Amino acid sequence: MTVDATGTVQGYDDYYPYGMQMTGRSMTSSEDGRYKFTGKERDASEGLDYFGARYYDGWKAGWDQVDPKMDKYRWMSPYNYTLDNPLIFFDPDGKEIRYIGTPQQISELKKYIAMVYKTSAGKEVIDRLNAKGSKDVNISFGKLKDPGKGKEMDGEYVPDLSIQRVKILNTGEIKDEVSLNKGDIILDKSKETFDPLGTTAHELRHADQFNEDAQYWYDTNKEEVSEIPPVPYEDKQAEQDAFWFQDIVKKQYKERK
């Protein structure tokens, strides 16, 4: 489903588990109408969904090319989608299968997001993610490798980037043009530092950072920015900002009790 900034439905599509559209259960009247199954862009001429590494055909429930990591799944067809189980697995880019979780785990993740959304800071960031068209940020549980030096990694945001090398016509300059499709948030409950509210808020803030154009931040009148302003993603600054946002969310959640 696609909604505008006011929450008005602009379009929707209902799908079978493998991505085939249900007849008579689709309505599109927005610019995002080309984004279909799992939020991927659909090739109107072929009816295939572009995942980045390859195209997916929801009618035959398979890919148009072999899995680039087929050696990892030798017991399966290299054309299979999500190990033939789209209810508990998803594939964000056509080359890596991720675990969604059991119904109980999915319900738990929704509760984490709801906790963040109950705060004014969390609501602002989540609403901004929805409004930017990057509404397909996937959140799942997983195991994360610690960075070392006694530090634990209890959450991670992995952006799904498209990089296109372009030539600037008037200068002849060659540069990489980067755009964000969406991304994945992975939460590791096995870590001692894991906090359902804090860790979820922290990673949602990283998603917010990636989804904002750095130029937008610098060009906007800073006196008119909102309570939780968007910031460009710049390593150390972004991490400090995510901890700042995490503390604000935890404080606001505690105050509302």
Q: Could you tell me how many residues make up the chain?
A: 257
Tell which residue, 113, 108, 99, has the closest CA to residue 189. Answer: 108
- Domain boundary (67, 99, 131) is at 99
Instruction: Give the model confidence (pLDDT) of 8-39 as tens digits.
Output: 666 777 888 888 888 877 776 555 567 778 87
Residue 240: its H or E element: helix 235-255
**Domain residue limits at 86:** 2-99
Do 112 and 89 lie in one domain? The reply is: no
Among 74, 99, 124, which residue terminates a domain? 99
Range 65-70 contact pairs with CB under 8 angstroms and sequence separation of 24 or more: 67/95, 68/94, 68/95, 69/95, 69/96
- What is the phi/psi pair of residue 112, to 5°? -60, -45
Tell me: do 43 and 55 sit in the same domain: yes
Strands of the sheet containing 55-57, edge to edge, are 41-43, 48-50, 55-57, 62-63
Q: Would you state the structure tokens that stand for residue 131, as one six-digit string?
A: 């409004």
Last residue of a domain, one of 40, 73, 99: 99
Paired residues of 158 in beta bridges: 184
Quickly tell me which residue has 């499709």 as its tokens: 181
Low-confidence ranges of the chain (pLDDT < 50): 133-135, 214-226
Q: Tokens representing 143?
A: 């195991």
At 165 the pLDDT is 54
Residues 6+ apart with CB under 8 A from 130: 3
- Give the per-residue pLDDT at 255: 93
Looking at residue 203, its pLDDT comes to 93
Q: How many domains are contained in the chain?
A: 2
- Cα gap 82→65, rounded to integer Å: 14
Query: Are residues 207 and 89 part of one domain?
Result: no
Q: Which pLDDT belongs to residue 200?
A: 96
Residue 158 and residue 66 share a domain? no
**Among all chains, which residue has been given the structure tokens 């490798």?**
145
Q: Are residues 21 and 141 in the same domain?
A: no
Identify the CA nearest to 200 among candidates 104, 126, 257. Answer: 126
* Pair (122, 91) in one structural domain: no
Domain shared by 113 and 88, yes or no: no
Q: Please tell me whether residues 55 and 129 are part of one structural domain.
A: no
Whether the model clears a pTM of 0.85, i.e. scores above it, the answer is no
pLDDT of residue 216: 46
Do residues 256 and 122 touch, judged by C-beta distance below 8 A? no
Please write the tens of the pLDDT for every residue from 49-78: 998 889 999 989 999 999 888 887 788 899
Taking a C-beta distance cutoff of 8 angstroms, is the pair 205, 245 a contact? yes
Residues 135, 237: one domain? yes
